[in-house]
Amino acid sequence: MKRILLSLAALGALAACSPTIPNSGAGVGFGDYKEFEQKQAARDAVLNGGGALPPPQAVSSETLAPAAASGIAQATNAGGAVDASPTNAAPVLRAGGISAENDFNAVSGQRSIEGDAAKRAQNQQEFQVIQPTALPTRQGNGEPNIVAFAIAAKNAKGQRVYRRNGFNAERKYQRACSGFASQDQAQQAFMAQGGPQKDRKGMDPDGDGFACAWDPAPFRNAVSG
């Protein structure tokens, strides 16, 4: 009997020391869950402007009428923005569109995932990296290079450098230079015939080395910038 009384006393002492288990039904910061629901409803009413949210509008399945393409084209060409409207025509895709290789549905209808992996592996094997090579040497026709001559010559136009025969010089000059379509062609023919050191046809009467009033200045300016 004494042992039973001691056991009951020990259980009573343990019960007095154990903490009180909170009520899980009570709301946080409120007396109970019902009060929490009331507070939440009042808060939602304030956020919604004092009333309930309007019901969603029904979605219509009717076909929209196409817009006048001329109006959209005029607004686009003028640089202005096109107003967003359900009546605007759908954009027209370019002919050909996107490659079918980027369309999963199209590719999946043509081959399986395994087949696609095999095709990728085949493409990787066929891929080649082409290394750059040296530029080919230009094969000229052996004609004089008037650009190189213009840059190499140091004298100005009209400055005598070479000795010329002044006999009947004007008539020779007019007759020789009239047969060329451009001054560049005349200078090239002049150099091919021994110029500027020699002037057999009288194309350079002033002896500056420039036939038929050919001017080396444009080529020199291009090099000097």
Residues of the chain with pLDDT under 70: 1-33, 48-104, 106-107, 109-110, 138-141, 225
Based on DSSP, count helices (H) and strands (E) in the chain, helices before strands.
9, 0
pLDDT per residue as tens digits for the range 24-55 = 444 455 456 677 778 778 777 777 665 555 66
The residue behind tokens 């019960």 is 15
Count CB neighbours of 151 within 10 A.
15
User: Is residue 89 classed as helix, strand or coil in its secondary structure?
Assistant: coil
Q: What is 158-220 written as a DSSP string?
A: T---S----TTHHHHHHHHHTT-SSHHHHHHHHHHTTTTT--TT-S-TT-SS-GGG---HHHH
16 is a domain residue: no
**Domain enclosing residue 184, as ranges:** 156-224
Q: What is the pLDDT of residue 59?
A: 65
Pick left, alpha or beta for residue 189 (phi over 0 → left; psi -120 to 50 → alpha; otherwise beta).
Answer: alpha
Compute φ and ψ for 17, nearest 5 degrees: -85, -20
123 is a domain residue: no
Separation CA 50–CA 43 (nearest Å): 9
Q: What is the pLDDT of residue 183?
A: 92
Separation CA 87–CA 69 (nearest Å): 10
Half-sphere exposure of 141 (CA within 13 A, CB side): 3
Q: What is the pLDDT of residue 215?
A: 93
| Residue 202 burial class via C-beta count within 10 angstroms: exposed 0-12, middle 13-18, buried 19 and up | buried
Separation CA 34–CA 40 (nearest Å): 10
142 is a domain residue: no
- Total of domains in the chain: 1
pTM for the structure as a whole: 0.39
Q: What is the pLDDT of residue 131?
A: 87
182 is a domain residue: yes
Q: What is the pLDDT of residue 45?
A: 76
132 is a domain residue: no
Q: What is the pLDDT of residue 167?
A: 80
186 is a domain residue: yes
190 is a domain residue: yes
Separation CA 178–CA 72 (nearest Å): 61
74 is a domain residue: no
